[in-house]
Structure 1
């Protein structure tokens, strides 16, 4: 969930600044930052 949050903070807040929520998922696999970004924040 950490990398998903960082991905949203680094990317989504600029691409969709008016997005109401980011919907972080605690059950997402920990695949690292690069893989999370490659999966558009949803690995």
Structure 2
């Protein structure tokens, strides 16, 4: 996400969190389902 604004990154991460790909706790981001995230990237 290099070269994007803080707002764009925040919006993308929030959407991915709602979809269950990642979770954010105490300023850390964890991947909940690596295979699901990989399929998103590959499509």
Q: Which is richer in helix?
A: 2
Higher relative contact order (CA 8 A, sep 6+): 1
Q: TM-score, normalised by structure 1?
A: 0.32
Q: Which is richer in strand?
A: 2
Q: TM-score, normalised by structure 2?
A: 0.32
